[in-house]
Amino acid sequence: MSLKTVSENKCFGGQQGVYAHASSETGTEMRFSLFLPGDAAGPVPLLTWLSGLTCTEENFTVKAGAQRYAAEQGVAVLAPDTSPRGTDLPGEHDAYDFGSGAGFYVDATEAPWFDHYCMYGYVTRELPALVGEHFPVDLARQGLFGHSMGGHGALTIALKNPETYRSVSAFAPIVSPMNCPWGEKALTGYLGADRAPWRRYDACALIEDGARLEHILVDQGEADDFLAEQLKPELLEAVCDGAGVPLTLNRRPGYDHSYFFIASFIGEHIAYHAERLKG
Amino acid sequence: MSLKTVSENKCFGGQQGVYAHASSETGTEMRFSLFLPGDAAGPVPLLTWLSGLTCTEENFTVKAGAQRYAAEQGVAVLAPDTSPRGTDLPGEHDAYDFGSGAGFYVDATEAPWFDHYCMYGYVTRELPALVGEHFPVDLARQGLFGHSMGGHGALTIALKNPETYRSVSAFAPIVSPMNCPWGEKALTGYLGADRAPWRRYDACALIEDGARLEHILVDQGEADDFLAEQLKPELLEAVCDGAGVPLTLNRRPGYDHSYFFIASFIGEHIAYHAERLKG
C-alpha cells in the first residue's frame, strides 16, 4: 500500500511524521501521525495512542509532549485519526459525540455507518500492517494507550487481542460505554438497539465475560468534568477486583480532562509501556 | 486593573492559566497565558515568551511543552498574544506577516497603526505590571525569550532594557529586521519609510549603536526554510563578535522552524534562564 507524506519534522532527535493513505477498512483517505526515535539499532516497539472525541491525529501529536519520552525510551508512537473523514452521511457531522471525530473504535453494523465506520478493524488490522511495511517498527512488541473515548478503545482492543498487545494504559477512559450517555448513543447508532453485541465493545463487560489482561494502568483526574456521568472508573475497579485483573488506578487531585493533564503524566505511561515492550 | 479568567488547568503540579484584560496600551482586550509552578514558597522569577508570526498566546502554551521544565525550575512563564485583536484597520487582516498576528513588538508611529499596535509598551510596561499585581511573581527577576518574530522581540527588548531582563534567549530569531523582507515590510508599515528610527527595533543595529548584554543564547535549526532569507544568524554573530557580546549560537542540524524544534530545546532554554534568574 502506498503512503503520502503530509509532513516530517525532526523532534528530540527523532522524526515526527504525518502520513495519509487510502484505507480499505474505512473506504476513505485516512491520516495518522508517527514518531520514530532517532539512533535506533533495529526495529523499535510500536505504541499506539487512540484519541478522544473531536480529535484528529493532530491533537495528541502537538499537545501531549510524548516525543521526548518516546525518544528517551526508544519506542515509536503511532496516533491515528478518530473516524473516517470526507464522507457526508446523514447526520454525520451534527454532533461532537457521534459520527465524524467519534468513531468509538467499533466496526459498525448499522446502515449507513458500516460502509465506513470500521475503526476497530482499521486500528487492529490495517494500520499496524501498513506501518510495519513502511517503517522500522516491531509488530511483535505493541502497546496501546488512549484518552477518554480512546481510553475505551485501548482497553477494549487490548482485552480482545491480548496476544497482540503486551501493554495497555488509559487516561480518563470511558470504562463502560453501555453505562454512560456517550457510549449508549454511539453503540445504539453504530451497532443497533440490541445491547447484546455491545458487550464486545465495553471493557467492563469484556472482563465480566472472561477477557483478561496481565495489568492495566489508568490515570484519572479528580477535577474531570466527565468523571461522574461518563467515565465512572469505579465500574472498572469493581469488575477488575471481581475478576482478579490487576489494575493500577491513579486518581489525580485537581487534574481535569484536558491535554494539560495528559502531558503531565504521559512520561510515566510511556515508561510503563517501554518496560513491558523492551523485553 | 481587572482580569478575566479564560481557563485554568492543573499541569505538572502547577497551574496553566489564560486570562483576558482591557489593555491601555493597545486599546483592545488582550489575552495572555501564564504558567505558575506549584509549591512555590514565595514569588517566582518571571520568564516571558514572545511568539512568532500568526501566533496567539495559545501556540506556545499547548505546543512547546514548557510547563514540565518551568515546574522543575520553579519559574513562571508568561506568553502574550502577538498583536491587538478585534480591530479592523485597513488591510490589517490581509497578510500573515503584517497587522493582526504580526505586531513585531514595536510601538507604531504611523497612522492608522499607532492607536493600537503598541506591543513594545504592552510587553515591557503594561503586562508585567498587571501580572505582578495579580500573581506571585518577582518582577526584579525577569527573563525574556521568543521565536522568530518573537526572538526579534526578545533580543531587542532585552538590549534596550538590560536592567529589567537578567537573561535573554531566542529560537530562530529575526536578528535584523532592517535586512530581511519580513522586517522591512513591518518596519515600513509601523514606523514609516525613514530607516533611522528602525534601528531601535533591530538587534544588530542596537548592538552596533552601543547596547550590550552579558550573554545571549540562540538556537537555530539548519533545516529552517526561513534561515537564509529572513533569519540570518550570521549577522548577529558578526556584530556580537565585533562588539564583544558573548553569544552562544547552537546550529541544530535537521531541525526546522516549527514548534517540534522549539519543544526539543525549550528545556535547555528554561534551565539557562533559571540559572540566571534564581540568584
pLDDT in tens, A95-141: 999 999 999 999 999 999 999 999 999 999 999 999 999 999 999 99
Q: Which of A67, A255, A260 sits opposite B263 (nearest CB)?
A: A67
DSSP codes of every residue in B53-108: TT--HHHHHHHS-HHHHHHHHT-EEEEE-SS--S---TTTTSBTTBBTTB-TT-B-
The mean pLDDT value for A201-218 works out to 98
Residue range B183-200, pLDDT digits in tens: 999 999 999 999 999 999
Distances (CA, A) of A11 to A117, B250, B260: 33, 16, 5
Residue range B166-187, pLDDT digits in tens: 999 999 999 999 999 999 999 9
- The predicted structure's pLDDT at residue B1: 72
- The predicted structure's pLDDT at residue A40: 80
Q: Which of B10, B12, B13 sits opposite A256 (nearest CB)?
A: B10
Residue written as cell 482478579?
Answer: A244
Cα separation, A227 vs A239, in Å, equals 18
Count chain A–chain B contacts defined by CB atoms under 8 A.
Answer: 61
Coarse DSSP helix, strand, coil percentages of chain A, rounded to the nearest 5 percent: 40, 25, 35
Pairwise CB contact (< 8 Å): A12 & B62: no
B255 touches chain A (CB under 8 A): yes
Pairwise CB contact (< 8 Å): B10 & A68: no
* Helices vs strands, H then E, count in chain A: 9, 9
Distance between B27 CA and the closest CA of chain A, angstroms: 31
B10 touches chain A (CB under 8 A): yes
What backbone phi and psi angles, to 5 degrees, belong to A62? -100, -20
- Position B74 confidence tier, pLDDT thresholds 50, 70, 90: very high
Cα separation, A137 vs A15, in Å, equals 13
Which ranges of chain B would DSSP assign to H, the alpha helix? 57-63, 66-73, 119-121, 127-134, 149-160, 181-191, 203-208, 233-243, 259-277
Q: State which residue of chain A sits closest to B258, comparing Cα positions.
A: A9
Q: Which of A10, A65, A221 sits opposite B254 (nearest CB)?
A: A10
Pairwise CB contact (< 8 Å): B263 & A63: no
CA A17 to chain CA mean position, Å: 18
What backbone phi and psi angles, to 5 degrees, belong to A157? -65, -40
B13 touches chain A (CB under 8 A): yes
Q: Which of B62, B68, B263 sits opposite A259 (nearest CB)?
A: B62
Distance between A65 CA and the closest CA of chain B, angstroms: 6
Are residues B97 and B186 in contact, defined by beta-carbon separation less than 8 angstroms? yes
Residue written as cell 487481542?
Answer: A161
Of the candidates B20, B165, B149, B138, the one whose C-alpha atom is nearest the C-alpha of residue B82 is B149
- The predicted structure's pLDDT at residue A104: 98
Active-site residue, from B148, B167, B169, B176: B148
- Position A278 confidence tier, pLDDT thresholds 50, 70, 90: confident
Active site members of A? 148, 224, 257
Are residues B144 and B165 in contact, defined by beta-carbon separation less than 8 angstroms? yes
Cα separation, A51 vs A57, in Å, equals 8
- Position A41 confidence tier, pLDDT thresholds 50, 70, 90: confident
- The predicted structure's pLDDT at residue B133: 97
- The predicted structure's pLDDT at residue A98: 97
**Residue B209, C-alpha cell as written in the block:** 549603536
Longest dimension (CA), chain A: 51
**Residue A111, C-alpha cell as written in the block:** 446502515
- The predicted structure's pLDDT at residue A39: 83
Q: Is B194 annotated in the active site?
A: no
Active-site residue, from B81, B107, B219, B224: B224
- Position A91 confidence tier, pLDDT thresholds 50, 70, 90: very high
Residue range B207-258, pLDDT digits in tens: 999 999 999 999 999 999 999 999 999 999 999 999 999 999 999 999 999 9
Question: What amino acid occupies position B191?
Answer: L
Distance between B195 CA and the closest CA of chain A, angstroms: 37
Q: Which of B10, B65, B256 sits opposite A65 (nearest CB)?
A: B65
Residue range A61-71, pLDDT digits in tens: 999 999 999 99
Contacts of B10 in chain A (CB under 8 A): 221, 223, 254-256, 260-261, 264
Q: Which of A72, A262, A264, A270 to mutate to test the interface with B (most CBs of B within 10 A)?
A: A264
- Confidence check: pLDDT of B40 > 90: no
| Full residue range of the structural domain in which residue B129 is found | 4-277
Contacts of A60 in chain B (CB under 8 A): none
Q: Which of B7, B59, B62 to mutate to test the interface with A (most CBs of A within 10 A)?
A: B62
Cα separation, B218 vs A256, in Å, equals 35
Q: What is the dihedral of CA A108, A109, A113, A117, to 10 degrees?
A: 20
Domain containing residue B17: CATH number: 3.40.50.1820
**Residue A212, C-alpha cell as written in the block:** 483478561
Contacts of A190 (CB under 8 A, 6+ apart): A104, A106, A108, A109, A110, A113, A117
> ω before B112 within 30° of 0 (cis)?
yes
Contacts of A264 in chain B (CB under 8 A): 10-13, 67-68
A254 touches chain B (CB under 8 A): yes
Cα separation, A75 vs A143, in Å, equals 10
Interface of B with A in 212-231 (CB under 8 A): 221, 223
Three-state secondary structure call for residue B197: helix
Are residues B54 and B13 in contact, defined by beta-carbon separation less than 8 angstroms? no
Q: Which of A58, A260, A265 to mutate to test the interface with B (most CBs of B within 10 A)?
A: A260
* Domains in chain A, number: 1
Distance between B41 CA and the closest CA of chain A, angstroms: 20
Q: State which residue of chain B sits closest to A58, comparing Cα positions.
A: B63
Which ranges of chain A would DSSP assign to H, the alpha helix? 57-63, 66-73, 119-121, 127-134, 149-160, 181-191, 203-208, 233-243, 259-277
Look over chain B and give the mean of its residue pLDDT values, rounded to a whole number: 97
